Amino acid sequence: MKLKGDFILHETDGKTIMLNVDGKAYNGLIQLNGTAADMVRLLQKGTTKEDLIRDMLYLYDVSEEQLTIDADKLLSALKTIDVIDEDD
Amino acid sequence: MITFTIRLADLNIGIEARYDSTRRFTQAYMTDGCPDFCISVSDSDLESERRHQNDQCRRCGEPSVRYSDEYYEILAVYRHIADRIPAYNTILFHGSAVAVDGEAYLFTASSGTGKSTHTRLWRELLGDRAMMINDDKPLLKCTEGGIFACGTPWDGKHRLSTNMIVPVKAICALERGRENRITRMPFADIYPVLLRQTYRPTDREMLFRTLSCLDRMKDTVAFWQLACNMDAEAARVSYTAMKEDQS
């Protein structure tokens, strides 16, 4: 599972924004909280949902259940705008 | 090929062009100085501009128009400049920029909303005190000391620009409204508009530089949202608020 296209993450005014470099995969602006930004960094390299949650457990002192909810929410949002390649 | 150098935003830009019309178009910005960087236009650049124009027509629901290669070259030159200039902390911004008493005010919105109409109302209100820096796509030089709006010859269909560099006091996002109302906006809330109206290079590093330039606006520029009609009162409302603001 990986992001389609080349995205950059940029911190501005206390938030993280996600932008597609050439605008071909997605032309809009995505605003992420801290947890989502770290998940996106893992998705940029390519991962599975299970590995994503396992890696996030190292970074965050929260329950696996909560991280699963957060991951599902993020993945659903990214799938809605068709920027996730699930076969990769 | 024709080679010449122009000076935009305190930078000397060497240009290698096919058509003398490009040199004449940029005449007011000609310089003898040594270039800080150089650009040249290829056949594929002209073809790329033709595709951009057609895509734009398609998005607006208008029939596509075939312009001359001379016109496409003028567009291609500015696109090359816009792609390279973030390396010098300068970005291309879509807006109508007017200078009043040594301070620049920028109005930004989607094409056709009324930016040029609004800055025309400012000129009618303020007379000679108001000078157009650039009516369409000024360069913004983003230094640690402030943001500066820079005139360029790529100044829109009314050809309104002055070869000047003026510190930016305020940027205003404009929308049409029945009543004239202006609201001060925090940077976070106006950011999506700023990003949408800023040229985004397709090179990663230049895109990061562009975003860093936008970040520099946060502490030195005041942001506003204006709903307005085309009455003269609209200019009085926006000018009074933006001019008097001291924060």
How far apart are the C-alpha atoms of B94 and B198, rounded to whole Å? 6
pLDDT at B89: 98
Neighbours of B128 (CB within 10 A): 6
pLDDT at B56: 83
Burial class of residue B167, CB neighbours in 10 A (0-12, 13-18, 19+): middle
Both structure tokens of B92: 């291309």
Low-confidence ranges of chain B (pLDDT < 70): 247
pLDDT at A27: 86
Digit-coded pLDDT (tens) for B142-166: 998 899 999 999 999 999 999 999 9
Name residue, tokens 């009314």. B158
Interface test with B, best of A17, A21, A32 (most B CBs within 10 A): A21
Give the residue ranges of DSSP H helices in B26-160: 43-60, 69-84, 115-126
Kindly state the DSSP code that residue B47 receives in the 8-state scheme: H
Is A25's Cβ below 8 Å from some Cβ in B? Answer: no
Give the contacts of B126 (CB within 8 A, at least 6 positions apart): B100, B239
> Would you call A10 and B208 a contact, using CB atoms and an 8 Å cutoff?
yes
How far apart are the C-alpha atoms of B29 and B12, rounded to whole Å? 10
pLDDT at B245: 76
Enter the pTM of the model: 0.93
Residues forming beta bridges with residue A19, ordered by sequence position: A8
Residue of A nearest to B206 (CA): A21
**CA distances to B46, B53, B72, B92, B113 from B64, in Å:** 16, 7, 14, 25, 21
Mean pLDDT of chain A: 92
Burial class of residue A75, CB neighbours in 10 A (0-12, 13-18, 19+): middle
Is B52's Cβ below 8 Å from some Cβ in A? Answer: no
pLDDT at B61: 85
Is A15's Cβ below 8 Å from some Cβ in B? Answer: yes
pLDDT at B247: 61
pLDDT at B201: 95
A16 vs chain B: nearest CA distance in angstroms? Answer: 11
> Would you call B188 and A15 a contact, using CB atoms and an 8 Å cutoff?
yes
Neighbours of B93 (CB within 10 A): 26
Size (chain A), residues: 88
3-state secondary structure of B214: helix
Is A80's Cβ below 8 Å from some Cβ in B? Answer: no
3-state secondary structure of B93: strand
> Would you call B215 and A13 a contact, using CB atoms and an 8 Å cutoff?
yes
Residue of B nearest to A15 (CA): B188
Name residue, tokens 């996030």. A56
> Would you call A13 and B187 a contact, using CB atoms and an 8 Å cutoff?
yes
Digit-coded pLDDT (tens) for A1-50: 999 889 999 999 888 999 999 888 888 899 999 999 999 999 999 999 99
3-state secondary structure of B71: helix
> Would you call B214 and A13 a contact, using CB atoms and an 8 Å cutoff?
no
Q: Which residues in chain A touch residue B219, judged by CB atoms under 8 angstroms apart? A: none
Walk across the sheet containing A30-32 and list its strands. A7-12, A15-20, A30-32
pLDDT higher than 60, residue A88: no
> Would you call A8 and B200 a contact, using CB atoms and an 8 Å cutoff?
no
Amino acid at A26: Y
A&B contacts, CB < 8 Å: 35
Residue of A nearest to B193 (CA): A29
Of A6, A15, A23, nearest to B200 by CB-CB distance is A23
B155 closest CA partner among B97, B87, B226: B97
Is B206's Cβ below 8 Å from some Cβ in A? Answer: no
Residue of B nearest to A13 (CA): B188
